[in-house]
Structure 1
Amino acid sequence: MTTYEIATIVGSLRTASINGQLARALTKLAPPEFHFTMVSIGDLPLYNQDDDGNQAAPVKRLKQQIQAAQGLLFVTPEYNRAIPGVLKNAIDHASRPYGESAWAGKPAGVLGASVGTIGTAVAQQQLRTILAYLDVPTLGQPEVFVQAKEGLFDADGNIAASSRAFLQGWMDRYVAWVKKQCGG
């Protein structure tokens, strides 16, 4: 059986992040041949082009994790109608130096949750624009804009029954997308 390593990038550093919880719960909906690795982005220095020739150890680790993956899963909050700075910083690091992007060609899924009624719709659109420039094919449908409210997760931190079918449908499409992009 072919296995698929998926680098999971959560755009929030907060310990009790809704998006971190969503990422962990969502990965439980995937088939067993899909392995998700949470990629740490909180220890990255601020991107500075002067450092391209001598990237810091956390940057090298990030790039290695992305390069080792067959696919990407982005789970992002929305801050001030945009992706969080920490996520943009990680994207910039792994795309540099110019011509040495770790992102290129990796199929991605994009989703997120917010307490707001439009979920993370604006941040996701911004992220999709960035990923398109970086040659990251992104699953277009279904889009997932989750309003994080009471009952999204059950007592064990899993997706609650009220949202499970919808998010299972998204995961099924994502799995098929990654397999297709990887020639499987």
Structure 2
Amino acid sequence: MARPSAVAERRREILEATCEVVSERGFRDLRIVDVAKEAGYSTGTVHYYFDSKEELLREAFRFEYEKSRIRREAVVSPGLDPVARLRALADAYLPSSPASVRSWRVWMELWISALRDPSMGQVNDVYYGEWRQAVLDAMREGQEKGLIEVPDPQLFANMYVSMMDGLAIQVLAGAEGISLADMQATCRAFVDSVAVTS
């Protein structure tokens, strides 16, 4: 029997490989054999750790979300004021590196899967809800401190998150009218539009 640390490492490697395959091929075209090849294991090993393709996908989304949460926490230092935090969050979520592009592609696959599978919609509700809550918390704190002026923090948080999603999809799709720099400038302008200036 494998040591607990070896078990955790194998699971991590399989999930890492799954995210890579999902990013490259999409979930519908994902095959266990491709994940196994990417991870350097047999298909039997993958099936030992994950009972089904659906379980593997759910765990891959959780895995990708945890990495995203760690990135978010890394840019949001305790002393950062809410306006600076919202700007930093937008910058951190730009599809500007291979890791962030992969993360966006995995999330896009989750959304597509959720259209057909209610259980994937529940996965989205949990992880995406936490992301929306982080934005809402920054909004409410900014409002309480007099740094942000909006009539409805929840509405703004939804607009902020939806704007980033829409822009990122256009950037990833290679739309001529939206570059990475355009996305960053738009997100910053959106935050600046509600920031109270002295």
- Assess same fold via TM > 0.5: no
Of structures 1 and 2, the one with the larger relative CO (CA 8 A, separation 6+) is 1
Q: 1 or 2, which has the higher strand percentage?
A: 1
Structure showing greater radius of gyration is: 2
TM-score (norm 2): 0.29
TM-score (norm 1): 0.31
